[in-house]
Amino acid sequence: MYDGDNDAMTGPRVLVVEDDHSVRDVLARGLRRAEFEVLTATDGASALRAAEQPFDAVVLDIGLPDSDGRDVCHALRARGVSAPVIFLTAKANVTDRLSGFSAGGDDYMVKPFHIAELVARLHVALRRSGTDLAIEDGDLRLDPVTHSLHGPSATMPLTPTEFRLLACLLGAPGALIRRQALERAGWPEGAIVSDNVIDKYISRLRKKLVDAGASQSISTARGLGYKIS
């Protein structure tokens, strides 16, 4: 069934297609907390009906009761829908992953995952598609058009990679963002990114946050990732 609940939110609108109701509830709650407007659907047929309304991105489970999520993605693309699609899959194998991309998906996540990582990837996908809004946290504002960081003391220009990494962190303030998520946010699919390179970018971002007068800073969880708070 299609459950057209949506709050009076103004953030990007995401269609969540997931048959497992506990997973769907966790996703909907987490995305709403992150200021997305959420539409939900429980199978392929209801997803295609829901997709008659405007939306900015899709979170699409591959294992649906009436169809394969990749076929749903094909059907959306065939209708001219260009919104980014992030697949959810329980299977970590490469075959699944590659066929997800050939089905027109933009990204995928293997269950179980942390909602903060999905939020970060949605922001990255929305920014690529040009529909994301400025990201704000406290008195910091990250402008997706000018790629600049506006803080209380100064506006700092960012390189495209710095912008994508900071957007990934600021997309989920206070949450641990794993190195892999930063790699995926900052660099093209398949790029080899050494830990040193990520560290170098993080130290540049720390300096720019200080120069912008930010009260937030980036902390390191050794061997795991980073968070901004």
Residues across the chain: 229
User: In terms of C-beta distances under 8 Å and separation of at least 24 residues, what long-range contacts does 188-195 make, across chains too?
Assistant: none
Residue 19 vs 35, nearer CB to Ca ion: 19
Q: State the nearest-atom distance from the C-beta of 27 to Ca ion, in Å.
A: 12
Q: State the nearest-atom distance from the C-beta of 169 to Ca ion, in Å.
A: 30
Binding part of the chain for Ca ion, among 31-39, 62-70, 148-156, 198-206 by CB under 5 A, reads 62-70
Angle, alpha carbons 69-192-178 (nearest 5°): 65
Dist CA 206 CA 127 (whole Å) = 22
Residue 19 vs 211, nearer CB to Ca ion: 19
- Tell me: does residue 43 bind Ca ion (CB under 5 A): no
| Count of alpha carbons within 13 angstroms of residue 94, beta-carbon side | 1
Q: State the nearest-atom distance from the C-beta of 10 to Ca ion, in Å.
A: 30
Residue of closest CB approach to Ca ion:
63
Residue 60 vs 228, nearer CB to Ca ion: 60
Residue 18 vs 117, nearer CB to Ca ion: 18
Q: State the nearest-atom distance from the C-beta of 62 to Ca ion, in Å.
A: 7
Contact characters 107-146, Ca ion, x per CB under 5 A = ----------------------------------------
| Count of alpha carbons within 13 angstroms of residue 192, beta-carbon side | 0
- Tell me: does residue 61 bind Ca ion (CB under 5 A): yes
Greatest Cα pair distance, the chain, in angstroms, is 54
Using CB under 5 A, pick the residue from 3, 6, 11, 19 that binds Ca ion: 19
Using CB under 5 A, pick the residue from 30, 63, 104, 173 that binds Ca ion: 63
Residue 30 vs 63, nearer CB to Ca ion: 63
Residue 17 vs 167, nearer CB to Ca ion: 17
Are the C-beta atoms of residues 6 and 39 closer than 8 Å to each other? Answer: yes
The residues that touch Ca ion, with contacts defined as CB under 5 A, are 19, 61, 63
